[in-house]
Amino acid sequence: MNDKRSTRKGGAGRGKLLATLILLLVSVAIPLGLFEVVLRSYPQIISLPVLKEIPNPLRREIAARLGLPLKQARRCIAPAERSDHGPELCLATPDFEWIHLLDPADRESGAEERIPQDANGFCNPPGKAARKHDDIQFIGDSFTWCWTVRADQTFSALLEEALGLTTYDLGFPGIGPYEYLEILKRFGLARSPRMVVMNVYEGNDFRDALRYWEGVEKYRAGAVGDGGSGGRSMGLFKRLLVSSYSLSFIKAAVESTAKRITGDRIDFHYRVEADGQTVPMNVANADRDEVKNARALEQGKVSLSVWDDAFAAYVKLAREQGFLPVVTYIPSAYTAYAASVRFADPQ
């Protein structure tokens, strides 16, 4: 009798536990399901820092829905294909349209959200791509490219309008001097330029040159591959993670927050006084690598010599191809307004 009572009690206990687990699962599943519907209906609420932490292929899917530029939509030049064996270089495809996720203040100031590229994949007004010759070509990063301005508003286009000389913009965001030369070789020289202007930006081009040499060293060491599959078999949670907006968002948001909390403590906010106004700069506290690289340079850990080979190759190429090489130096805002800049962290 006691055994039967114990069995009934044990069965009742397991039943209660099962009911509790089911109730718990339902209480979690319903909010997750609703959150899933919201995220799939309004993916724009996923911030870029969080999106970066979401695993592929879901990240690509969300980025495509947001109209963000995808690597799959670019033409990429592998290290083995580059003349200098630098890191992979991914450029826009012909007639590609860039879409920027603008800050409301930038949008109100007239920043362009959609930036169409020309038939060669660069930022120029219609008709320029078909030309066979350019008087002046410009190579550089986003300062040369059309960052939030129309193609006819870049200084390349305005210079043609002012001087009557034919110009062509070969700028592209997020790259450095070695990549400028690769673009010039592949897309510029065939247009027989009389002059080429390389715009070197103080803020990012030092970083990009350091990245270039890291990429070259990896290539020489045979460490550059296709990235691998990372394991073809996935557990149940990982399969859910790469297919669920809500689970991926929660995990990515936690990781993004953890990085902010445990990451570097660099405060790179600053403001400048210009025309009687105080202008907040770097409000997102981005480009902190500029501070890291500046400190490394001061400590002698890195050197400006990382640019030397790029400039030497530029001059050599100019002599071989018969164009006039010009280098312009674009200072960062904190250099251009050094007399009035105020950093949040003076150190």
* Residue 79 pLDDT: 95
* Residue 229 pLDDT: 42
- 141 has which bridge partners? none
* Residue 232 pLDDT: 45
> ω before 331 within 30° of 0 (cis)?
no
pLDDT in tens, the chain (347 residues): 555 555 555 556 676 777 788 878 778 778 888 888 888 888 888 887 788 888 878 888 888 788 776 666 689 999 999 999 999 999 999 998 887 777 776 777 788 888 899 999 999 999 999 999 999 999 999 999 998 899 999 999 999 999 999 999 999 999 999 999 999 999 999 999 999 999 999 889 999 999 999 999 999 998 654 444 444 445 666 777 778 888 888 888 888 787 777 667 888 999 998 888 888 888 878 788 899 999 999 999 999 999 999 999 999 999 999 999 999 999 998 999 999 999 998 87
User: Where exactly are the structural domains of the chain?
Assistant: 31-68+237-263, 133-223+267-343
Contact 239, 251 (CB under 8 A): no
* Residue 69 pLDDT: 66
* Residue 13 pLDDT: 64
pTM, to two decimals: 0.77
* Residue 8 pLDDT: 52
Inter-CA distances, 290 with 209, 267, 294, 332, Å: 13, 12, 6, 10
**Closest residue by Cα to residue 53 from 68, 44, 63, 39:** 63
* Residue 246 pLDDT: 85
Q: Specify the 3-state DSSP secondary structure of 260.
A: helix
* Residue 76 pLDDT: 92
Q: Specify the 3-state DSSP secondary structure of 208.
A: helix
* Residue 284 pLDDT: 78
Q: What single DSSP character describes residue 141?
A: S
Q: Specify the 3-state DSSP secondary structure of 167.
A: strand
Place of tokens 């209660």: 16
Phi and psi based region of residue 223 (left: phi greater than 0; alpha: psi -120 to 50; beta: remaining): alpha
